[in-house]
Amino acid sequence: MVPSSWSDLPEHLLNCIAKRLDAEINVLHFRAVCSSWRSSFPRPNYPNRPLPLKLPFPIAPSNPYWPNPPGFYALYEDTVYLLQLPDNEEVNACTSSPQQDRRRQGWLVRVREEFPGRFHVFSPILKRRVDYFPETFPRNLNVLNFRVTEVCKLHNLRFVSSSLPNDNVGIYRREFRVVLLGNSISTGRAVFAIYGRREGDLCFMRLGDEKWTVVRHDADVFYCDIAIRDDQFYAVDNVGMLCVFDSSFQKIATIPSPSVDGAERRIFNLVESFGDILLVVFRNVDSFRDLIDYDQRARGFTKHGSSHVMVQIEVYKLNEKEGNWSEVRDLGDRVLFVSNDGCWSVSAHDFAGCKGNCIYFHAFWNVQTANRDNRLRGLDYGEIGVFNLEDGTGGPLASYPGYSDMFWPPPTWLNSNTS
């Protein structure tokens, strides 16, 4: 006998569905369907971990000649969501878009819950809060009015001093790349991090430990980026060598760099994308701060002070069983986001008019060379670049109209679905 409505689904099927919900937003939507669904799956009793989560400081032992001040590391958690109109949304009279395209008019938003129930919007690429919004942007959003998909979670550490004023803690605010075993702070089991982008030391700690453990490595090696997939950690060093660690932080494999030719300096970033581990390689750069000039005629990035050295971006896919990489010349409809505090991807299919096979990244160029665009106000768009893998061209975000539509400005249909 077929159930007459969703509320009539048998309990064993509801239990099967509930066990596969790995994001808190999915649990919320599941329990909001009807009273029988809500009663069949009580709200999970996550550990009471305040935001941000306090972790031990320092990571390495103190230098006796330069003792560390008292304080702690605060672990912050950002969530990237995809908001879309519900399937039963009627066509809005103010738009001529077909119903199919309107359902694909998604909004990609990165938020941080700094206080219970209160969220701040952050730039999708930069670790900066967005403080300017259009006048039509609603102050409150009811996520039950939309189709909401959790894309990923991003984590970062920040030193908080117990004795020093904010002006004097800059030396301890080193950059981190952080991934969490268990996805979120509420369900996480361990933290894996790169301590300082210059030193590039790997460290880890299980939540509840009193101190960090530093992963030893060769003196001339430093790690650039880390990623996680299926409870395995991946770390790439400054020459493109990949180390694979299991959930106990034991190294289980080493995979050589796919990019060995040429003497130019490179930046390596890892992206977990739809089950694949991708390596994004920036060639001809010493650091992202070299990417501060844009050649309008060549439609490409150049190193600061040298208009003849074009920056190249390559993508490789990990073949873990074979222990090697294969170059990716076409990402299909995938869009990659590469930032200092995390890398992730989405499908261009979820955004009407969005072009796939592109890479968005954080760069430091002279914003005077970028076209001004009031639609991007509040986004710090002068430090966001976009690269088209198909033809090898790229430029500042403001030079590519429409490429920011998936995340800025916020869509007007948000305001009509806030009740």
Domain boundaries, the chain: 6-40, 53-405
Q: Confidence band (pLDDT; 50, 70, 90) for 278? A: very high
Q: Which residue has the higher pLDDT, 98 or 204?
A: 204
- Range picked from 34-48, 131-145, 322-336 for highest mean pLDDT: 322-336
Q: Confidence band (pLDDT; 50, 70, 90) for 370? A: very low
For residue 407, the model assigns a pLDDT of 84
Q: For the segment 162-211, what is each residue's pLDDT rounded down to a tens digit?
A: 665 554 444 455 567 899 988 787 778 899 998 765 568 889 999 888 89
For residue 269, the model assigns a pLDDT of 93
For residue 47, the model assigns a pLDDT of 55
Asked if pLDDT for residue 418 goes beyond 60, the answer is no
For residue 251, the model assigns a pLDDT of 92
For residue 408, the model assigns a pLDDT of 84
For residue 74, the model assigns a pLDDT of 86
For residue 157, the model assigns a pLDDT of 84
Cis status of the peptide bond prior to 58, with omega within 30 of 0: yes
Helix (H) or strand (E) holding 203: strand 201-206
Token pair belonging to 257: 């760099």
- Range picked from 32-36, 175-179, 363-367 for highest mean pLDDT: 175-179
Instruction: Give the range among 336-350, 355-369, 385-399 with minimum mean pLDDT.
Output: 355-369
> Cα–Cα distance between 216 and 35 in angstroms, integer?
53
pTM of the predicted model as reported, rounded to 2 decimal places? 0.82
Please give the average per-residue pLDDT across 199-226, as a whole number: 84
Asked if pLDDT for residue 108 goes beyond 60, the answer is yes
Asked if pLDDT for residue 395 goes beyond 60, the answer is yes
Q: Give all strands (DSSP E) within 207-341, no chain letters.
A: 213-215, 223-229, 232-237, 242-245, 251-255, 266-273, 276-283, 293-295, 300-303, 306-310, 312-319, 324-327, 334-339
Q: For the segment 297-315, what is each residue's pLDDT rounded down to a tens digit?
A: 656 666 666 555 667 889 9
Asked if pLDDT for residue 363 goes beyond 60, the answer is yes
> Cα–Cα distance between 155 and 175 in angstroms, integer?
12
Residue of 346, 59, 74, 42 whose CA lies nearest to 185: 74
For residue 404, the model assigns a pLDDT of 83
- Residue pair 118/129 in contact by the 8 Å Cβ criterion: no
Instruction: Give the range among 233-242, 288-297, 320-329 with minimum mean pLDDT.
Output: 288-297
For residue 257, the model assigns a pLDDT of 92
Q: Confidence band (pLDDT; 50, 70, 90) for 90? A: very low
DSSP secondary structure letters along 349-360: GGBTT---SEEE
Q: At a CB cut-off of 8 Å and minimum separation 6, what does 370 contact?
A: 294, 381, 382, 396, 397, 398, 399
> Cα–Cα distance between 161 and 64 in angstroms, integer?
19
- Residue pair 251/234 in contact by the 8 Å Cβ criterion: no
Q: At a CB cut-off of 8 Å and minimum separation 6, what does 233 contact?
A: 179, 181, 192, 226, 227, 244, 245, 246, 247, 249
Please give the average per-residue pLDDT across 275-287, as a whole number: 85
Asked if pLDDT for residue 403 goes beyond 90, the answer is no
For residue 280, the model assigns a pLDDT of 95
- Range picked from 62-66, 315-319, 389-393 for highest mean pLDDT: 315-319
Q: At a CB cut-off of 8 Å and minimum separation 6, what does 57 contact?
A: 68, 71, 72, 73, 159, 172
For residue 170, the model assigns a pLDDT of 47
Percent with pLDDT over 70 in the chain: 70
Average pLDDT, the chain: 77
